[in-house]
């Protein structure tokens, strides 16, 4: 296959997958982010990289946000929101953090393949992205290897949440850029 044939297949399956994401649940997560005193974000592996991108965008919006596990991450409270990105929703370190956050009274949001998972049972907000990975099979079959479709969909979903937040907060890209790192 050519580059353009692969590109067309990937874009088509991204569109098909993202068409299943609930706009209502995106709205619920957006409102939860706006209500939270602080936002904590977590994910591991390749999904963790996508969640780190989300964390940076939230910071660019001027929100108080931390990626869990960093040395400057403070303790969570019952006024905060923990957002976890996990395809399986079954990663042991993420489960441990979700359980601890729940005990404290922190709200939990999960972006995952299926809500039928351990973290899904703990979450207050769930966004489902039915993209298959090596660990979780779905009715969809991806032309891409491993969990690429989920990770790409996770990134695009989080970018759409950012765009919704920009809309609610009436913040422009130029205003966000003022929070961009200037010591690089």
| Distance, CA of 156 to chain centre | 9
Give residue 169's Cα distance to chain centre.
19
167 is catalytic: no
Cβ–Cβ < 8 Å for 84, 113: no
Q: Which of 9, 151, 159, 170 is catalytic?
A: 151
Pairing relationship of beta strands 65-67 and 107-112 according to DSSP bridges:
unpaired
What the block records as the tokens of 62 is 């001027």
Structure tokens at 4: 């353009």
Give the residue numbers marked as catalytic. Answer: 151
């Amino acid at each position: 296959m050519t580059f353009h044939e692969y590109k067309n297949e990937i874009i088509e399956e991204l569109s098909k997958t993202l068409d299943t994401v609930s706009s209502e649940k995106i709205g619920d997560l957006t409102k939860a982010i706006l209500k939270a005193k602080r936002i904590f974000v977590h994910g591991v592996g390749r999904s963790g990289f996508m969640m780190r991108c989300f964390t940076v965008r939230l910071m660019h919006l001027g929100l108080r946000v931390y990626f869990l596990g960093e040395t400057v991450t403070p303790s969570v409270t019952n006024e905060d929101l923990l957002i976890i990105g996990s395809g399986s929703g079954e990663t042991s370190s993420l489960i441990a953090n979700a359980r601890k956050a729940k005990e404290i009274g922190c709200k939990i949001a999960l972006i995952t393949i299926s809500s039928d998972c351990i973290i899904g049972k703990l979450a207050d907000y769930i966004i489902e992205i039915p993209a298959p990975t090596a660990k979780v099979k779905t009715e969809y079959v991806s032309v891409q290897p491993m969990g690429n479709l989920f990770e790409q969909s996770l990134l695009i979903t989080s970018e759409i949440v950012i765009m919704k937040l920009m809309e609610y907060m009436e913040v422009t890209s130029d205003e966000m850029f003022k929070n961009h790192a200037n010591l690089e």
